[in-house]
Chain A
Amino acid sequence: MTDAPALSRHIPDRLNGRLSRVLRSWEVLLLAVAVAIFIVNCFASPYFLNAWNLSDATFNFTEKAMIAFAMALLIIAGEIDLSVASIIALASTAMGLALQYGAGTAELVLISLTVGLMCGAFNAVFVTVLGLPSIVVTIGTMSLFRGISYIILGDDAFRGYPASFAWFGQGYIAWVITVEMLFFVVFAVIYGIILHRTNFGRAVYAIGNNPTSALFSGIRVQRVKFILFLLTGVMSGFAALCLTSRLGSTRPSIASGMELEVVTMVVLGGVNILGGSGSIPGVVIAAFVMGLVTFGLGLLNVPGIVMSIFIGLLLIGVIALPRLWAILARRKAT
C-alpha cells in the first residue's frame, strides 16, 4: 500500500509544512468565497460598505453561530440535534412565563440556560442511555419542545421584558460592536480551544471516526456524547436569551426553521455530516459567508423565500464543487 520505504528508524512528525496544509484547507477556500461575496456586495449596493449596516448584518448569524459551534462538535462526534430551534422556543416561553411572575433579568438568564440544559439532557438520555439514533430522537423533541410552547402561549405573545434585559440582544460594547458579536467571538474561541486543544476535543474526533475503536481505546464514548448534547442545549438556551432580548417578545413560532440554518452553517464550514472531521475556524467563516449573503440580498430587496434558495444553492455548490473536481481529475488521469 502506501507504506513508506524502510526509513531507517526515524519517522518525521509531519511531511508537509504547516503553511502548505493551511493553504490547501477547506477553510481557505471558504475564506476566498467570503471575500468574493464581500466584494460583489460592495459593487451591488451603495449601502453595503457602511459600518452601522454591517453591524446590523451580524445579527443574521451571531445567534445561529453560537449554536453552530456546539452543533459542530456534536456532528463531528457522529450525532446531531435538530431540536435546537425548539429549545429556543421553549426557553423563551419559560422566560416569558417567569416574567409574568415578576422575574428579573438575572432570573431570566438562569431560567433560559437551565431550560436549555434540561432539554439537552432529555435528548442525551434517549441517545446515550437508551441508544436511540439522535436524528429520530431530536426530530421528536423538535415537535415536543415547540408543542409545549404552543400549549402555553397559543396565539399570544409575552412582552414587557425589563430594560436591563435588552442589553443581550440590543446592546453595544463600543461603537458598532454589538454585545452579541462579543459573545460570538468569545464562544468561537472557547469552542475552538475545546475542539482543537483539549483531550475532550480529541475524544470527539476519535468517536466520530470510529466509535467502536474509541470505546476500545478506553474513551467514555457515551459520557462524551452526553456532554455534547448538554452543550448544544445550553447554547440553544443562550441563543434564546439573545434572540428574545433582541425581539423584545416571545411567540411560540420564535426561531422556527433555525435548526436547518444551524446545520447548514456547520456543514458549509467543512464539518463532515457523517462525523469525524471539521473545524471551528471553518464554522466561523461559514457564519460570515451566510451573514454576508443574506445581508447582501436583503439590501437588494430580495425576498426571504428567494434568499433561502440562495443559501441552499450555496451549500450544495460549495460541497459539490470539490467532489466534482476530484471526479474530473480522475477522468483526466485515466
Chain B
Amino acid sequence: MSGPVTILIGALGGDGGGVLCDWIVSAVQSQGLGVQATQIPGVAQRTGATTYYLEVMPRGAQASAVLALNPAIGEVDVALATELLEAGRMIFNGFITPDRTTLIASTHRVLAIGERMAMGDGSFDVGRLLRAVKERSKEQILFDMDQAAEESGGVINAVLLGALAGSGRLPIPDAAFEAAIRHAGKSIDTNLAAFAFGRGHARGELEQAVREHRKRQAAGQCVEDLLERARRTFPATSLDMVEEGARRLAAYQDRAYAALYLDRLDAVQALGSAELLRETARHLAVRMSFEDVIRVAQAKTSAERLVRVRGEVHAKEHEPLEITEHFKPGIEEIAAILPPGLARRLIAWAERPDRQGRARLGKVYFSMHVRTTTVWGFARLRFLASLRWWRPRTFRFVEEQAEIDRWLASIRAAAPLSTDLAREIAESARLIKGYGDTYKRGLHNYHRIADEVIAPALAGRMTPRAAADAVANARVAALADPEGESLSKTLMAIAASATLRHAAE
C-alpha cells in the first residue's frame, strides 16, 4: 500500500489558510478519498505565521488507516506557501526536501516586524531565499500570487488552491475544487476567478508580467546644458546618478544650485575613483536637497502627487477625495527658514528655561492639519513651496552647506590614503535623513563617527584599512538601535583597538 499524500501549508494570519484547508478537505472528500487535516491556530493567527497539515489517502486505501497529525522532516509531498519567507521557513525546518517535495509558493514578500522596524533596510536577503527554494525542493511552482490575487480580484488562498489544482499533484479534478469553493458559499465569483488564475499560472498557460518597481526621475527643466556638461566630464558608470542629481537640484532650487553640484563633483572626480564618484554623487544630491518645509510643500503640491494618492488609496475616477496632511512644525523648523542671525537668536531664546524651568525647544510645536484638497489649504502649501527663492538665505541652508563642505573635505582628505575609506565616509551620509528627532539623531550619530573615527583616521592614528572597516562598522551600529547603544559600544571598541595599536607601536 502506498502511503498518504502529505501536504503542508505555511500561511500568514489573514491569508485564509484555514479556508484553503477546508476547500482541499471538501474537494478530496467529494472524490470519496480519505483525508485528515489539522492546524495550530490561536494567537499565531494574529499577524503571525501558522501552518496547516493534511494527509490525503490514495484511491483504494483502507478508510481506517491511521493518519498523522504532525508533519515530519523529509516526508512532505506538497508544500504550499502564501509568502516567500514562509516557504523558506518550511525549508529551514527540514520539511521541504529536494527528493520529494513539490513547492507551490508565492514569490512576494510580506516583511516581518523585525525587518520593517529596522532603521534602514532590514529585509532578509531574497536571493538566498530564492536559491534555497530552488535547490531544496524537487519541483517548484513559483509566481507572485499576491499580484495574481489582485489582478483576479480575489484572495491569495484561492490562487494557491488553483496552483495546487494546476500542479496535478493530487488525484482531484479541477471541477471538485471549484465545487468546494461553491459549496463554501462565500465570494464565489471572485474566488473562482482567483482559482482560475492560479491554475493558469501553474500550468504555464498564463504569463505574469513581473511588476517592476519604477524609480521616479526628477523633472528638472532647462538643465540640458548642465546634463551635457556632465556627460562630457563624468564616466558613464556614474552618469545616471549625476544626471538625476542635477535634475533634482534644479527642481529643488535652481540651475545655479545644480551647477554647484557639478562643481563639487568635479573635485571628487579628480580623486580618480569611479566608484567613489558614483557614491558621492548619489549622497551629495540627497544631502543638497535636504528636507525643509519648503521641500515638503513642494512635494505635497506637485501636479503628479494627487494622481498618485488617488491610485494608492484606490479612489475610483468619479469619487471625490479629501486629503488631510499631518504637520507639526516646532521652533527648529521655523528657525530653519529664517535668516541665520534671527534663527540663532530664536533658538537661543528657546533653549533658555521658561518660568516653569523648561526649555521650549523640543517642547513647543504647532499641530496643523492642512486639507490640501481645499483651495485654501492647497494655496497655503503652494505659498510655502514658492519660497524656494528665499531658501539660500535661510539658516538651515547655510548650516547644511557648511556640513556638506566638511563632509566633502574629509572624503578628499581620505582618498589619497585609501579609496575604501573615502567611500565609507561618503556612504556615512546615509545616516543623515528625516525630520525632527530622526534628523537630529542621524546628524548626531554622524558627528560622533566623524569626531571619533574619521578624524583620528585622517590624522593617521589608524591604518586606512582598519579605518575603513571602523567607519563601516560604526555606520551599521548607528542603524542598529535608535537609542545609540550599539554605536556607543562600537565606538568604544574602535577607540580601544586604536589605543592598543598606538601602544604597540
A and B form one complex: no
